[in-house]
Amino acid sequence: MSRRHLETACLLGPALVVLALLFVVPLARLFSLAFTDPAGPFATFGILAESSVYRQVMWNTFVVAVVVTVLCALLAWPVAYVLSRLKGVWFAVALYGVLFPFWISVLVRTFAWMMLLERNGPINRLLMSTGLTDAPLALLFNNVGVLIGMIHILLPYMILPLYGAMIRIDRRLLLASDGLGAGLLDTFRRIYLPLCLPGLAGGATFVFLLSLGFFITPALLGGSNAITLSMLIASFVNDRLAWSLAAAGSMALLAIVLVLMALTARLLPVEKGFFAR
């Protein structure tokens, strides 16, 4: 019996030691820096909370995450529905269309949007040649660019759980509702939508939490006009060498993510959405 325990310890041990050295200890060490400000142990959190600039950054991070989540939910709906109805070759084509972007680097996809959204880029030239606008639109280095880039990257995280929920719906329920005389809208509202909700909630949680921590895409597409919390943390480290503020910002970001995860896990059967991947 003890030999078996020893074997199990040998199997799990190396990974746990590496995890402790590369993850648990570095995080604990970083967070401890948040309390080392000369002005007092909790001064860093006060600075972050009281400065109007930092409050604006946090508000911007939150607004971007909410808008990205809502728009992803709307855009994911038709794709997930069509995926759940398609069969054969067309199903494979659509599914690969959703899965393919997952494999392409976030940096490459962000770079692609920089080329497309430029002042003289193809999208602006198309808009002007069709007469929709007279002058090139500012699509880059503001929240418009950030939203487009982030939705492009996060949309598959919404489509797959939603598709997972739709594919599990028993079509006979819809037939029964139809046969009992319910209209299309009634069937949708009272049967289809409630059955899709776990997938929608799982996807929305995924997208919202990932949005909060996004760094590469807002840094390149938004620039200094659309600063997010993660960009602020990076600038504390790289430009200002303000480790205590970076640590406090990191703690705040992680705390928000963990609290939201705990809340959604309690309120909604999120794990269904997670398993749908």
Partner 1 sequence: MNRLPLLLRIAANAGASLVLAFLVLPILAVVPASFNKASFIYLPPRAWSDVWYERFLADPEWRSSLFNSIEVATLATVIAVVLGTLAAIGLRRIDGRLRTIVTGLFLAPMIVPVIVTAVALYRSALDVGLSGTILGMSLGHALLALPFVVINVGIALRAVDDNWLKAAAGLGAGPWTIFRTVTLPNIVPGIVGGAIFSFITSFDEVIVAVFMAGYSSKTLPVKIWESIRLEFTPVIAVAATVMIALAIVLFALAQIVSSRTGGRAQ
**Which positions from 40 through 59 interact with partner 1, judged by CB under 8 A?**
none
Q: Is 174 in the site for partner 1 (CB under 8 A)?
A: yes
- Choose between 49 and 261: whose C-beta lies nearer to partner 1: 261
Task: Match 């939603």 to its residue by tokens.
Answer: 162
Least distance to partner 1 from the beta carbon of 36, Å? 12
Q: Is 194 in the site for partner 1 (CB under 8 A)?
A: no
Of residues 94 and 137, the one with the C-beta less far from partner 1: 94
Cβ partners under 8 Å of residue 86, min gap 6: 94
33 binds partner 1 (CB under 8 A): yes
Residues 268, 197: Cα–Cα separation, whole Å: 9
For residues 201 and 273, is the Cβ–Cβ distance under 8 A? yes
To partner 1, the closest distance from the beta carbon of 161 in angstroms equals 16
* Cβ atoms within 10 Å of 229's Cβ, excluding its own: 25
Q: Which of 152, 161, 227, 276 binds partner 1 (CB under 8 A)?
A: 152
**Structure tokens, 193:** 């939508």
For residue 30, give both structure tokens: 């970083």
Neighbours of 253 (CB within 10 A): 19
Identity of residue 276: A
Per-residue contact string for residues 214-253; x = within reach of partner 1 by CB under 8 A:
-xx---x---------x--xx--x-----x--xx--x--x
* Cβ distance to partner 1 smaller for residue 15 or 132: 15
Phi, psi of 13 (to 5 degrees): -55, -55
| Residue closer to partner 1 (CB basis): 178 or 269 | 178
Which residue of 19, 39, 263, 267 would you call a contact of partner 1, by CB under 8 A? 19
Contact 113/148 with Cβ under 8 angstroms?
Answer: yes
CB of residue 144 to partner 1, shortest distance in Å: 15
Locus of tokens 């880029």 = 121
Size of the site for partner 1 (CB under 8 A): 83
Distance CA 100, CA 90 (A): 15
The piece of 22-30, 52-60, 138-146, 263-271 that touches partner 1 (CB under 8 A) is 22-30
Q: Provide, rounded to whole angstroms, the least separation between the CB of residue 188 and partner 1.
A: 7
Q: How many residues does the chain have?
A: 277
- What is the rounded distance in angstroms from the CA atom of residue 148 to the CA atom of residue 227? 16
d(CA 159, CA 99): 10
- Residue 88 C-beta: closest distance to partner 1, Å: 15
Pick one of 60, 61, 69, 177: the residue that binds partner 1 (CB under 8 A): 177
